[in-house]
Every structure is written in structure tokens, then in C-alpha cells.
Amino acid sequence: MYWFVNFISLLAIGVPGWLLFRFLKVPSSIMVGAMVSAAFFAVKGWWVPEIPVGANLLFQVILGLFIGIRFTRQAGRELKASVGVAIFAGVWWISFPLGLGWLVSEWSALDLPTSILGTVPGGIAEMSILALSLNADAALVAVMQFFRLSSTLMAMPLIAGWINKRANGGSVPKEKGVRLEAGPAETPRNVKLSGAMITFLFAAAGGLIFFKLGVPVGGFVGSITFTAIASGAGLPLKPLPLPFRHLGQLGLGALIGLNATPDILSTLWGMLFTILGTTVAILVWGIILAFLVRWITGWEMMTCLLGSSPGGITQLSSIADELGADPLKVSLLHLVRLFTIFLVLPSLIKIVLEWWQ
């Protein structure tokens, strides 16, 4: 009972910020709003709940599940045809943030893990999970990721449209594709429920096993891995209802916000220009990658631009079709980027830190 009260209280302190940021139409309003709201409680010294045991692991499993289930047989076939360029894009997005993160750590007071995780394009929730696991400053990482994601979502549709129009001689071709989630229009409710339960069991098993094995961010990586394997094998998986993802984002945002201190706020203010500079550099790096992907594959420019953009897989895949890009190819490039980052980056950071010391 005591655990349950703390769990509900943890979610509750994130709700005011979520509602405010949703009203203001801020990107990723659930996670960012919950983080800001909980940080306000922590900095003000107001009552905050005791962190429930296992809550962080639960949130990792839930958020990892929603990424892993995207890996369908259809995505697997497309991956086989494009595996070379997809892996190239994944490596591209790991190599640059390592160098950029090192420069940020040299120019600022940030430690190396925080600098790297703040610049790598892996998502607010995902990079914050890694930050908690690697003893980096999760609040700073979340804010840096928020600037990157916000800038990408606001700027890339305009930039991509401008580049695409000129790359095609003033015309904007419409490339047709299918979405990763394509499937039957209607599914019986009992099948949805049983499929969602199977999905959660696979995700929970993977998360718990990887956590027990000591894998960095084990709950998240294990959830992604087991769910992706089961989904790719054709098992009757169904995604959990969307409110579960909202719950994971809300809870993780609140956990991150509770780490806030007055010192962090002053550091953020002093790093404003550094954060803006790294965001611009990451956007340019993504545009360069888009031209390389087009040269390798011959895909439409808009597909390459959105697939190579340092934004979120959900947001960019959802607007791909209306911008004339292929949603499947866009999702695929982002999916491989995320898998590469989550599976390789934690161990790579530990190796870099050992070498650096």
C-alpha cells in the first residue's frame, strides 16, 4: 500500500507541468512538463514522495516496449534490403556526438557522459534513462535533448521542404510508402487484449533479465530486444494502449525532475549558447547524412531528409506521409539509429571514460 501511494504521488507531481506544457503545445509535453513540475517541487523544497522501488525499471520496460514492437516482419524485409545504409546512418549518429560531446565537456563544466548523452539524438526519455544509469546529470541531459527535439520539429519540415524543392528542380514529388504499423483495419477486442498482455510479458522478461545481467539500461534495452525478436518472429503482439506510454513518460519525467537543484538551474543559464550551438551542429550533421543516404540509395530527397533528421521516430514518422516521404523508410532509419545508440553507446561511453581516466 505504501509503495502504491508513493507511485501515485510520483505521477501526481508531474501532472501540473504536463497540463501546462500541453496547453502551450510544447513538444513532448508529458515528459518535459512532468520533469519541470517535479523539478519545481524539488527546488522549492516542497514535499516529494519517496521513489518507489522498481519504478524506474517499470518505466524503462514500458517505453522500450513501444520501440521494440515497431520491428515487424515487414520492417525486417525492408531492413534486409537497406541494412547497409541503415547501419551506416546508425554509426554516423554515434561518431559525431562522441566528438561533439567531448568538445562540450572541454568548453563547459559538464562531465563527459552528460555532454555525450546531451548531444546524441536518441530522444528525451531514452537518453535520460541512459543518464540515470551512467550517473550523468539526467536533468541537464533532458533539457539539452528537449532543445534538440524542439528545434528539429520546428525547423526540419521547413528546411526539408526548401531543400527538397531545389533538389527536384522546383517540384515536390510524392513518394508513396506504407507505415510500420500497417495491419488489419479491425481487430477483435479480446485479441487486442491478449496480444498486449503477451507483448508486456516479453518486454518485462527481457527487461528483468538484462537488468539482472547488469546490462547498462537493462530494463530499456532488454524490453526493446525481446519485444523486437518476438514481433519480428511474427508472434501476435499488440501495442499497449497509448496511456501506458504516457504513464512511462510521466513517471520518468518526474524521476528526472526530482534530481534538480539550484546549482543545475544556474548551470543551464550559463550554457544557453552552448546548447544552441550544439543543436545547430546536430541539425547540419543530419542534413549532410541525408545527402549521403540519397547518393547511396537513390531515395527521394524528402525521405532521406526526414529519415536522417535528429528528431523522434514517432513525430517524424507521423508527418512523413503528409510531407511526401515514405513513412516506412523514415521509420526504419530512425529505428536502426535508436537500436544502435541504445545497444552500443552505454558500453562505448564506459570504454571512453576508462581510456580518458
- The pLDDT tens digits of the residues spanning 50-108 come to 778 888 888 888 887 887 787 777 666 766 777 788 788 888 888 887 788 888 888 77
Question: Residue 79: its pLDDT value, please?
Answer: 64
Q: What is the pLDDT of residue 210?
A: 86
pLDDT for 265: 67
Of 305, 331, 335, nearest in space to 318 by CA: 331
Q: Please give the Cα distance from 129 to 33 (Å, whole number).
A: 17
Give every residue of the chain whose pLDDT is below 50, as ranges. 171-188, 191
- Helix or strand (DSSP H, E) at 171: none
Rg (CA), the chain: 20
So what's the pLDDT on residue 170?
52
d(CA 224, CA 204): 10
309: amino acid identity, one letter: S
* Residue 137: per-residue pLDDT: 82
Burial class (CB in 10 A: 0-12, 13-18, 19+), 243: exposed
| C-alpha neighbours within 13 Å on the C-beta side of residue 118 | 31
293's CB contacts (< 8 A; 6+ apart) are: 85, 88, 89, 299, 304, 307, 308, 333
At residue 183, the pLDDT reads: 39
Domain boundaries, the chain: 57-124+147-240+270-356
pLDDT number for residue 289:
92
Give residue-wise pLDDT tens across range 103-122: 888 877 778 888 888 888 87
